[in-house]
Structure formats: structure tokens, C-alpha cells
Amino acid sequence: MVDSSWQPAVVDPAQPGGWALAHCRQRFLCNASGVLFPREWLKAQLPGLLAEHGIGYLQGKPVFVLELADISETLPPGCEWKGLRQFLLEGDLPTFRLLGYAAQVGTWARQHRFCGSCGGPLQPLASERAMVCSDCELYQYPRLSPSIIVLIGRGEELLLARSPRFAPGVYSTLAGFVEPGESIEACVHREVREEVAVEVGNLRYIASQNWPFPHSLMLGFHADYLAGEIVPQPEEIEDARWFRLDALPPLPPHGSIARYLIELYRARRSGAAEPVLPD
């Protein structure tokens, strides 16, 4: 369990000590005590280290993420690998926030070891979250992909859909990545047309959430249904339909912006207290 004292920051790996996380392809090493291990001990246990980045402080002690080349088959006693999404499903939001940040930094470090312009090796800067090429001076910063996520309402009904990638039975809101040259609002209209073939209006921006799968920034909206019959997009949408607020299907986990958009709509229709989206 990670407490609320976690603060992200750029930490120079040249300094000794601290805690460390082991990350590889959206999985983290953990044991019965959690995901944080003494840094030097952990580095000695795991081969195949690609990169090491300082990511912040927990209770005043520095925290580092160790990005590994592959999932190690030989683990320290009592340890296992656990997927990032599982921490969200378990409801441990402070740990999920820390691991989400670490996963994005680790993924960026894995994918930016060499310069995309000249092919030379990239080196991390001690003063900011960036990698620089000493040959051509190209700077690379962590990737962030803006995305929209929208809940469509029609009075006491919600339009919810499910992807083949969802857990069995779960339905959620619609979402998609913003394309070059596109406004956020235009993206909402396009994604809705593509995924379910309906028209929406009265877009209301609600909130945003970092979503580390692998590096999205979700911009959340409510929208009103205007016209059209639901036609699910082949290969993207397995099913989509209208659900009454008093008969909703299994939903995304609490802590996700998708669940927040649904709960907020339901609260505003009923006059109940509005939910809070975790920071």
C-alpha cells in the first residue's frame, strides 16, 4: 500500500539509496508487502536492466523505476508480476497513481533509448524529464496522447458499449484518440459517428484523467443524443445499446473516468450527491 505522501519529481539516479519499482511491459514486481523494494537490493536481484529513472518521493525518500528488458523468470522469493490494471481493479488508488506514473516513464525510457533522427544513443537529463542526443541535440520528452471519452445520454437512458477487450459483461462509455489537426469537440463527434453511427450535441466538458494504458490523457464529456440508430463499428465495438439508469450492466471500476461520467450523470438526474473523481 502506498500512502498519499507520494510526490512525483525528477530525481537524479546518481544519488544513492531509496526505494525502487521493477517494471516491464505494464507489469510490476510485488510481494506480500507491496511493490516497493530497497533499491540496491532490487537491482542486484534482477538482470536485464534497460534504464533507471528517479520518479519522485514517498515519505521523503526517493523512488526509482527500473525498466527491464523482459519479464524475469527467476524471481526473488515470495515475489510475482502483477499487471497495472489489476491495481486499479483492486481499488488501491494511491498505489495505482504511483504505478501509472512509473509505467509511463518506464515505457518512455524503453521506447526512447536511441535518437529517432540520427540513431545515436539518448541520455537522460538530470534537471528535467527528458532524453537528449549528444550527437544532434534532439530532445525527447515523455509521450502524452490526448483522447476523448464521452457518455451519451437520452433522458433516463445511457448509450453504453463494449469492446472485445473488456472483461466479460462490462459496458462503458465511448472513447478514442484525437487525430492531427482535430479539435477535441470534432474528435467527440467523429468517434461517436465511427463507433455507433449516431449524432450528438450539447457537449459538456466534465473532467480529465491521466490514463496510463499506455500514455493517454482522457478528456471527459457528457453529450446529448440527437439522431440515428446504433450501428456498432466492426472489430472495435462488440455491442452497443441503450440502458435505463435503473438497469445498468456491469460497469468500469471505480476510480476510472468512465465510471465517474456514468455516476455523475446518474447523480444529476436523481438529485443525489455528486461523486468525486480521484486526483
CATH code for residues 145-269: 3.90.79.10
Mean pLDDT for the stretch of residues 220-225: 98
Whether the pLDDT of residue 1 is over 70: the answer is: no
What's the CA angle centered on 203, arms 199 and 207, to 5 degrees?
130
CATH domain 7-111 topology: Nucleoside Triphosphate Pyrophosphohydrolase (3.90.79)
Taken as a whole, the chain contains a residue count of 279
pLDDT of residue 2: 79
Is the pLDDT at 250 greater than 80, yes or no? Answer: yes
Tell me how far apart the alpha carbons of residues 125 and 30 are, in angstroms, rounded to a whole number.
29
pLDDT digits (tens, 9 = 90+) for 157-203: 999 999 999 999 999 999 999 999 999 999 999 999 999 999 999 99
Residue 10 pLDDT more than 90?
yes
Question: 248 pLDDT band (50/70/90 cuts)?
Answer: very high
Helix ranges (H only) for the chain are 39-45, 84-89, 93-111, 184-196, 257-270
How many C-beta neighbours within 10 Å does residue 264 have? 20
227-246 tens-digit pLDDT: 999 999 999 999 999 999 99
Average confidence (pLDDT) over 244-257: 96
Flag whether pLDDT at 279 surpasses 80.
no
Q: How confident is the model at residue 119 (pLDDT cuts 50, 70, 90)?
A: very high
Same fold, 7-111 and 145-269: yes
All three cell numbers of 120: 545515436
The ranges assigned to domains in the chain are: 7-111, 145-269
- pLDDT given for residue 3 in this prediction: 73
pLDDT tens figures, 126-160: 889 999 998 999 999 999 999 999 999 999 999 99
CA dihedral 219, 224, 228, 230 (to 10 degrees): 60
What's the one-letter identity of residue 149?
I
